[in-house]
Amino acid sequence: MDAIRIPKVQNVLCSKAGKTTQGTLHLTAHHLIFCYDDSPEPEMWASSVPYPLVNLVTRLPQTLSGQCPITFRCRTFETFSLSFDKESDAADVFDSVKELTVAPSVTQLYAFFYVPNPPLTSSGGWGLYSVREEFGRMGVGTRSKAWRFTDINKDYSFSPTYPSRMVVPTRISDATLQYAVKYRSKGRIPALSYLHWANYGSITRSSQPMVGLTNARSIQDEKLVEAIFLSHQAPDSRAAPSGVFGATSTNLIVDARPTTNAMANTAKGAGTENMDHYKDCKKAYLGIDHIHAMRESLGRVVEALRESEVLAASVAGDLPGTTSVALPVDRQALRRSGWLRHLTGIMEGSVLIVRNVHVNSSHVLIHCSDGWDRTSQLSAVSQLCLDPYYRTVRGFQVLVEKDWLSFGHKFLDRCGHLSSEKFFLTPLEGSGSGGGAEAAQAFLASVQNRFASNHHIKETSPVFHQFLEVVRNIQRQFPERFEFNELFLRQLHYHLYSCQFGSFLFNSEKERRTCVPSPYERTVSVWDYMNSEPRASEYINPSYKPELDDPMSRVPKADQGVLFPNPKDIRFWHELYGRGDEEMNGRFVTPQTQNVEFLAPVENAEEDPAILRPTTPNSQPMTPALVSSISSAEASSSSSMYDLGTPKRGSSPLPHRNTSPSLRPPPSPSRQRQTPPRPTGTDLFANTGVGMKSVWGKLSSGAGAAFSVVQDAYGGVAKDFRGLSVGPASPGGGELLDKGGELRGRDELAAWGGDAPAESRFEPERVAQAVRPSTFAGGTSNPWSTTKTSPFVPSVLADNPWSTARSTEPARSATLGSSLGDVFGTSRASEASGLPVDPTVAQPAIVASPSASRATEAPAKTSPPGPSAPLDPTPALSQAASPLPKPSASPPGDDIDPLGVGLR
């Protein structure tokens, strides 16, 4: 072949994984092969390195030892360097690899020339997925008559990126679809992707609507979505839909994008649904970033791995037979990449969909911008958790064929199979004539210019790689629920970029079927390769237990085959990156915080920040639901969507419980300033993910209404108790200063005195001691008072009853005050202790404040048990003007309480 300028080079030093060996390099039409001179291994990396696996090739200047190195970075996260004795050999190898890697068309890739030898034992990989068989297995046409097959796209003129045969609601005719297709980007209308086996819940997928700046709408699209959300109520269904106990109808439109991206697309003529026009559903924004952020995030992971390899190589040098010291990866750099955060967002959105379909027996419509990247991720991961069939080897292959290949994921563009000359970096011509320093400076400038001009390559992104890594994390959390093992996923990732098979070479089903020559005839399916022996047996998981997926099982912890993975338990796929688990994830994995937007549910256009509305000076005030959404978003922006870190100040370390605001006592003023706002909706599904509490607070409308009834009942009982006035009358008249109070416990009621007469136990002073002031009471009974004082709430957590420096006045220790208003009024006397005062126990002497006036230090006798004079309700700030009461000292005797705890 003319592209191969030099087929063989001897005495080449290969440095890989910290080891440097000498051998011979061979260049073939589709592979780069390195044979070791003194090694039993005949070839490097099992057989060869296909050229499409090469991601970045850098030709470095000549070293001081006279070597001419070339570094190779592969898409499988491997890095190796080849050092040549002659600069001409390095130049020929560099130019040959560049011409062989940068393919002019798909038909020039290795898959169209690969002939398996020996022949594969399995065949029929191209016919593995059949639309009628797969959707018939789900129950389309048999269990449910609400869906039908349509061939409206048989010639791909209806939607070029959609499959030729689709499943749509029976109530919608093809004529209606012809109008609805104009309202969706790229003509990707809502179409069925999954029908749940346990109920009539469904997962449909589409692209964004063409709303634009004019807020355009389509009646046909609205009717199509409405028919999807009413498919479980089809009148001609064979099995009448029955309600599921505890489930509520919460149909959901999932927009995988952040609201800012949706708003930006509105300016370009697209946008998001106006919820005023879509009935019986709500919308949720997942805040998953676009493909460019994913590409940059993975690039930072690769850079962190490369830096450790460069440091290890610099320690060992380029001498043959040497081994470098294993240097750890900078885990902080890995976390700063944000890769785990993106994976967490995908898993969290998938759990939301799984719960809405399986638990709520409802429908979900998923879309992003064009509906072939984030939509495929969410749809496939959700089905993997919902249906045990997709966790088998054949079922997983069908899932990839259906939701990725058939629905038009752009594998050719996202994987960058054709590569580009921009990924081949070389020093400038003639840079070596000016000296080594000038050559290095010119090379660095060339590298910077190459990367600066590389921004036009915008279509590559590790979308399918993310899907495989999320599946690997679910497989790690549920090791007994998958028929295939980790090696199966790793080999699938390898052949995603190897271009050895024709499965992942095209952007759509149309391109795959109209390509000449036909890939169905000229290439081999990747499933035939993976289903052939001996590889098929290597991919089986020995710990797989299919009996756990039995939907009729009633054993403890039975889940009917539906998995709910933990979005906070996300780790790097260390086997894929060629590192150890502890090296990449650490011994104790601390999940990353996710600083992404999660907004849900959106019920109308007023609550949707992505809908552009004309603003007027006299605009209407925001609805309470929107205020709640904004406050939740502000709280999540300062903290984390997932709250994966340490608890913040003012927050309880206990797990979140779904208590209503009226049932939760208000915090103290100081704590109230530190606590971020929390959503007020009732959360029945808090374990979905910490970031989804606001979602399920509104989605669980039926359970929320039932909870409101209980809440109102509790409020009525509490109101009745607050109406009971057990405190004494105010000094000025017969009206009580403060109504309401909670009776003290049995131990505290002992303060009344067990030996006292029955009639004396109900004196006003004793009743005041037996009643704990309600923490719900305010500081004043006049809400319009201009001189409000902050209420004081006695707390046994804030006061130390065993403290020796406790300030307790003897007159005040006998009684808590003549009325409950003294406790919540301006007096600061009760701040000393939150415990009940025992009148039979003598109190220790008070330690006078330095700022207070000097009082007489003559000892006073201990007051006998019983009621004493009421306290002077003077504010604490005026204590300097008015002297404190005289402190009392307990006479020596048997009744001395040296600790002040009521024990003797």
Which residues have a catalytic role annotated? 368
CB 288 within 8 A of CB 596: yes
The three-state secondary structure class of 72 is strand
Burial 107-136 (b: 16+ CB within 10 A, else e): bebbbbebeeeeebeeeebbebbebeebbe
Strands, DSSP E only, in 308-435? 364-367, 424-425
CB 220 within 8 A of CB 180: yes
Question: Which residue matches tokens 């650490």?
Answer: 586
Length of the chain: 904
DSSP assignment letter at 323 = B
Q: Give the C-alpha separation, 57 to 81, whole Å.
A: 9
Half-sphere exposure (Cβ direction) of 373: Cα atoms closer than 13 Å: 24
Strand-strand pairing, 54-59 and 68-74:
antiparallel
Burial 149-179 (b: 16+ CB within 10 A, else e): ebebbeebebbbbbbbbbbbbbbbeeebbee
Q: State the CB neighbour count (10 A cutoff) for residue 444.
A: 11
Q: State the CB neighbour count (10 A cutoff) for residue 381.
A: 26
Q: State the Cα torsion 175-180-181-182 to the nearest 10°.
A: 110
CA 789 distance to own-chain centroid? 43
CB 81 within 8 A of CB 54: no
Across the strands, what pairs with 347?
A: none
How much helix, strand and coil, in percent to the nearest 5, is found in the chain? 40, 10, 50
Q: Give the C-alpha separation, 803 to 865, whole Å.
A: 23
CB 198 within 8 A of CB 560: yes
Burial of 45 (0-12, 13-18, 19+ CB in 10 A): middle
Q: Give the C-alpha separation, 59 to 176, whole Å.
A: 58
Residue type, 335: R
Q: Give the C-alpha separation, 496 to 507, whole Å.
A: 13
Q: Give the C-alpha separation, 627 to 489, whole Å.
A: 45
